[in-house]
């Protein structure tokens, strides 16, 4: 029976921490190494609960950071301390919904896979409503990521906590960026691009994710700057490997980032303009073709550009006229939209003065 190291970062989750730990220590699979990493939580309740459970279960290793390193740093501390053949993660405000989770999951590694992933459900803190959040594709299948499939952001999602990893096979890239949010995105991109892991999806819900509005992920104070860091790190990886699959996945994440930028129009003009320009540099860095730009970003990105006063002032038209020209293409028929958008993009690029130089 191989050992599984379960890594649990803790920061301000004491209202839910007991439920999380109980769901792990009571697993029917007993050969567990449970590594709790308190990421310098300021709440004494977190520390007290962790010490309590460590004192009554010898499988628990309790580590406490002196400074906050974010979730990625806490996970890295757990990875360094882990001695199990397999590693898995669980957020301390979540829990396992089935006491046979590891007993049932471990057997799938007998079919020679590097990563096992399973379904999860979401529990809304405010409404206490549990509903399925699982994807229909890629479950009960074995395939090699980055090689056999056209990678999609919705397939084998980037989150680390609904997966079990073979530590020995993946040890070169089994780490996270520290002191930043969105660390799962860079981690999963690097895992797919560098390792091309063999994965298997289990068609069953094992994990209960609590949608906690107070969690680190949902605190958006510095999220835009962090996403810029993540994308630039991924861009460096892409420029190193430059495979078609690495490009496809990078563009998918760039598309997500574009939508996040779009929702940040309420921040101050100077900060927003800087973020938009950072995005322009990232787009230039991957040298998009015109067709790729239309497919993955399209006219939505130009709407973002119009909120950058520096770029906007390069136009002689009013904001009302610009928006009218863009929005008139949103609701036209599908077989015409690409042609219309491409034509409009070319016109706008010419007006801007060649911000982009397409790689054709």
Report pLDDT for 103.
Answer: 97
Report pLDDT for 176.
Answer: 96
Domains in the chain, CATH or no CATH each: 4-211 (3.90.550.10), 223-352 (no CATH)
Yes or no: say if 344 and 305 are a contact pair by the CB < 8 Å rule: no
Mean pLDDT by 10 residues, the chain (360 residues): 96 94 97 97 96 97 96 96 97 95 94 91 61 50 70 69 94 93 91 90 89 52 76 90 85 73 58 69 74 61 52 48 47 46 56 50
Report pLDDT for 327.
Answer: 44
Measure the CA–CA gap between 233 and 256, rounded to whole angstroms.
16
Report pLDDT for 135.
Answer: 45
Rounded to a whole number of angstroms, the CA Rg of the chain reads 23
Phi then psi for residue 35, to 5 deg, are -105, 110
Give the residue ranges of DSSP H helices in 218-333: 223-241, 244-262, 269-286, 290-296, 299-305, 309-312, 319-327
Report pLDDT for 164.
Answer: 97
Phi then psi for residue 51, to 5 deg, are -65, -40
Report pLDDT for 124.
Answer: 65
The pTM of the full predicted model, rounded to 2 decimals, is: 0.80
Report pLDDT for 333.
Answer: 43
């Amino acid at each position: 029976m191989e050992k599984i190291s379960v890594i649990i970062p803790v920061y301000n989750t004491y209202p839910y921490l007991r439920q999380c730990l109980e769901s792990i220590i009571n697993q029917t699979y007993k050969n567990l190494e449970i590594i709790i990493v308190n990421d310098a939580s300021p709440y004494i309740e977190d520390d007290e609960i962790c010490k309590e459970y460590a004192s009554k279960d010898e499988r628990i290793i309790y580590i406490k950071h002196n400074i906050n390193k974010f979730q990625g740093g806490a996970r890295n501390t757990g990875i360094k301390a882990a001695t199990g053949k397999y590693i898995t993660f669980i957020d301390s405000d979540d829990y396992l919904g089935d006491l046979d989770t590891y007993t049932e999951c471990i057997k799938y590694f007998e079919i020679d896979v590097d990563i096992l992933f399973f379904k999860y459900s979401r529990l809304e803190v405010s409404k206490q409503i549990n509903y399925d959040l699982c994807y229909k594709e890629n479950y009960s299948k074995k395939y090699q990521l980055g090689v056999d499939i056209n990678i999609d952001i919705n397939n084998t999602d980037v989150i680390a906590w609904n997966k079990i990893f073979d530590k020995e096979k993946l040890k070169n890239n089994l780490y996270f960026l520290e002191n930043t949010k969105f660390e799962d995105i860079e981690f999963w991109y690097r895992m797919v691009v560098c390792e091309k892991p063999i994965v298997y999806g289990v068609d069953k819900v094992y994990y209960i994710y609590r949608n906690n509005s107070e969690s680190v992920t949902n605190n958006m104070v510095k999220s835009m700057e962090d996403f810029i860091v993540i994308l630039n790190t991924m861009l460096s990886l892409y420029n190193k490997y430059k495979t078609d699959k690495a490009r496809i996945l990078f563009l998918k994440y760039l598309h997500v980032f574009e939508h996040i930028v779009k929702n940040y129009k309420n921040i101050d003009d100077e900060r927003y303009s800087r973020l938009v320009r950072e995005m322009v540099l990232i787009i230039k860095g991957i040298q998009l073709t015109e067709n790729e730009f239309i497919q993955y970003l399209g006219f939505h990105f130009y709407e973002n550009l119009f909120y950058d006063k520096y770029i906007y002032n390069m136009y002689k038209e009013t904001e009302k006229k610009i928006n009218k020209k863009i929005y008139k293409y949103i609701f036209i028929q599908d077989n015409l939209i690409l042609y219309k958008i491409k034509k409009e993009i070319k016109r706008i690029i010419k007006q801007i003065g060649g911000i982009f130089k397409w790689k054709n």
